[in-house]
A and B are shown apart, each in its own frame.
Chain A
């Protein structure tokens, strides 16, 4: 009897959850579907859902017009590079904040977060002028550094919260056994922090991938990532929904696939110290 109720409940949960899930996912699904329509079908009234002439034409047009692989490569390099560099710099900082806290630790953390609140538009000209002076406009390395700096506070903070969850006794035990600071970090701390570091990497990769202000304004050709690719398909004169959908699908597909595969990792690691 109790079992029947449970499975009834489970069925109800399933129906409700799937409906909501599909509702939230619908805009993405619709974009993907539209990318296989002709421009006329994309604005058909009433809209066609599945039964239209599926075509790959939009994709071939987009691929012919833009050097998709170059945009993609740049996105991977910029997002990946900035994330890796950020974690490299953040791990020692977060480590020392978590294990050798001082009176100022909390202030430093909060200050770091507050640097994220500087509105980007307001400093476009100063930064642009600076980049000219340094000769690093349209330069991938410069963008790697800038995006690293933008996300560094979040990285430090995320890592700090993970590290704090690692019980200090373990470290002390290791120290008793004669482990050096380096050993401590490499062999004790790192393995325990792997899930945290992994989800930090993922989250920041996503944030860097989607950053659309600096990546658009400081690049032209050599360093232009997918955000610039999208800007060449939004709102031209004439019908554009289908081609825009194709370009959008191409821009979000890599990160969507990555996100789906690493979903478990992301869920496990995204605690921000909120789980005790």
Chain B
């Protein structure tokens, strides 16, 4: 169908984007790789020479490494779970006839517009603070001892904050998908005597699978890189240190660029494992 002419035109049109991203990927990647083999300590005089695989072995053998990988996966998984389960429920709810639908929709989307730093600050200081936080007051109102969120439920708190920002995004996409669902199909199923639950599992959910895939893909990319939410709230304490945060500690707090860069290489590998895993699922879903 496509002529030779349009093929070459297509290639030319694709070139700028591909070239730019290639540069944007390769330059930092090469520099990271380079630094990861160097003994680079800015506060000790800079580049102190070739380090072999020292940085790589040191980064992995550190007791903080595997827990940080686990934390990363838990946070990504938790946020995905919350935003998809509640996203689907919310989307179905918001699709129903009601008064003031537009306003409710706005209320639900709003958190997506809030800067991660701001939302982390607000949650930490005004909600999760065990003395003056709104949640503490709520707990006390019901006669319970306020929960020290960022200590006793630290990972959950981070998941909560990040989910609060990304649930609206999931809801939006899922809502768009639900609106395109053929209502006649649902009505027909209802007449045939299908229970609401059956209708949901056999008609709505399959219809949403593609949208869910999109949500999983995009949110994984963004949540893997979550940083501000941890930096502001726990600073990595109480088991909330993700791989990204561990790299931050090595690079900026310990000022060991070589070690941090080796961590960066591992993070790229982890991200790609997750990506391949995702693509397996997503790729299939995107094709049809």
Q: Which residues of A contact B (CB under 8 A)?
A: 6, 9-10, 13-14, 16-18, 20-22, 24-25, 27-28, 30-31, 34, 43, 45-47, 89-90, 92-93, 95-97, 99-100, 102, 106, 108, 110, 112-127, 130, 149, 152-154, 156, 168, 181, 206, 209-210, 212-213, 226-227, 230-231, 234-235, 241, 244-245, 248, 251-252, 255-256, 259-260, 263, 266-268, 270-276
Tell me which residues from 88 to 106 in chain B have a Cβ below 8 Å from any Cβ of chain A.
90, 93-94, 96-106
Tell me which residues from 210 to 228 in chain B have a Cβ below 8 Å from any Cβ of chain A.
210-211, 213-214, 217-218, 221, 224-225, 227-228
Known contacts A227-B115, A272-B173; 19 additional CB pairs below 8 A are A21-B107, A27-B126, A28-B114, A93-B17, A97-B14, A112-B17, A117-B268, A119-B267, A121-B252, A121-B260, A124-B251, A149-B24, A152-B20, A241-B132, A248-B118, A267-B176, A272-B211, A273-B210, A275-B211
Q: Could you tell me the dominant secondary structure of chain A's interface residues?
A: helix
Knowing A230-B118, A234-B117, A241-B125, the reply to whether A89 touches B17 (Cβ < 8 A) is yes
CB pair A114–B275 under 8 Å, yes or no, is: yes
Tell me which residues from 57 to 95 in chain B have a Cβ below 8 Å from any Cβ of chain A.
90, 93-94
Pick the most buried of A10, A34, A271: most chain B CB atoms within 10 A of its CB. A271
Instruction: Pick the interface stretch among B1-9, B147-155, B187-195, B197-205.
Output: B1-9
CB pair A24–B25 under 8 Å, yes or no, is: no
Closest 3 CB pairs of A and B: A122-B264, A96-B10, A117-B271
Q: Nearest CB to that of B211 among chain A residues?
A: A274
Contacts of A92 in B (CB 8 A): 13-14, 16-17
CA–CA, A235 and B175, complex, Å:
38
Q: Could you tell me the dominant secondary structure of chain B's interface residues?
A: helix
Query: How many whole Å from B86's CB to the nearest CB in chain A?
Result: 9
CB pair A152–B17 under 8 Å, yes or no, is: yes
Knowing A119-B268, A122-B264, A267-B175, the reply to whether A252 touches B115 (Cβ < 8 A) is yes
Q: Nearest CB to that of B141 among chain A residues?
A: A46
Q: List 24 A-B contacts (CB under 8 A).
A: A9-B96, A14-B98, A18-B98, A24-B110, A25-B111, A46-B141, A93-B16, A96-B9, A96-B10, A99-B10, A117-B271, A118-B264, A125-B251, A126-B35, A130-B31, A152-B17, A152-B20, A227-B117, A230-B117, A231-B117, A244-B121, A256-B114, A272-B211, A274-B214
Knowing A14-B98, A24-B167, A126-B31, the reply to whether A234 touches B251 (Cβ < 8 A) is no
Knowing A95-B13, A271-B177, the reply to whether A125 touches B257 (Cβ < 8 A) is yes
Q: Is B186 an interface residue (CB 8 A)?
A: no
Knowing A13-B98, A122-B32, the reply to whether A34 touches B20 (Cβ < 8 A) is no
CB pair B25–A206 under 8 Å, yes or no, is: no
Q: Is B44 an interface residue (CB 8 A)?
A: no
CA–CA, A106 and B218, complex, Å:
16
CA–CA, A20 and B281, complex, Å:
32
Q: Nearest CB to that of A150 among chain B residues?
A: B24
CB pair A108–B261 under 8 Å, yes or no, is: no
Knowing A96-B14, A123-B31, A270-B172, the reply to whether A17 touches B98 (Cβ < 8 A) is yes
CB pair A122–B110 under 8 Å, yes or no, is: no
Number of interface residues of B (CB under 8 A): 103
Query: How many whole Å from A53's CB to the nearest CB in chain B?
Result: 19
CA–CA, A108 and B21, complex, Å:
11
CB pair B271–A30 under 8 Å, yes or no, is: no
CA–CA, A80 and B126, complex, Å:
31
Q: Is B243 an interface residue (CB 8 A)?
A: yes
Contacts of B164 in A (CB 8 A): 24, 27
Q: Which of A25, A45, A123 contacts B32 (CB 8 A)?
A: A123
CA–CA, A251 and B113, complex, Å:
10
Q: Is B247 an interface residue (CB 8 A)?
A: yes
Q: Nearest CB to that of B167 among chain A residues?
A: A24
Q: Is B156 an interface residue (CB 8 A)?
A: no
Query: How many whole Å from B149's CB to the nearest CB in chain A?
Result: 14
Contacts of A125 in B (CB 8 A): 35, 42, 251, 257
Query: How many whole Å from A216's CB to the nearest CB in chain B?
Result: 8
Q: Is B185 an interface residue (CB 8 A)?
A: no
Query: How many whole Å from A142's CB to the nearest CB in chain B?
Result: 13
CB pair A127–B28 under 8 Å, yes or no, is: yes
CB pair A100–B2 under 8 Å, yes or no, is: yes
Q: Is B51 an interface residue (CB 8 A)?
A: no
Query: How many whole Å from A70's CB to the nearest CB in chain B?
Result: 18
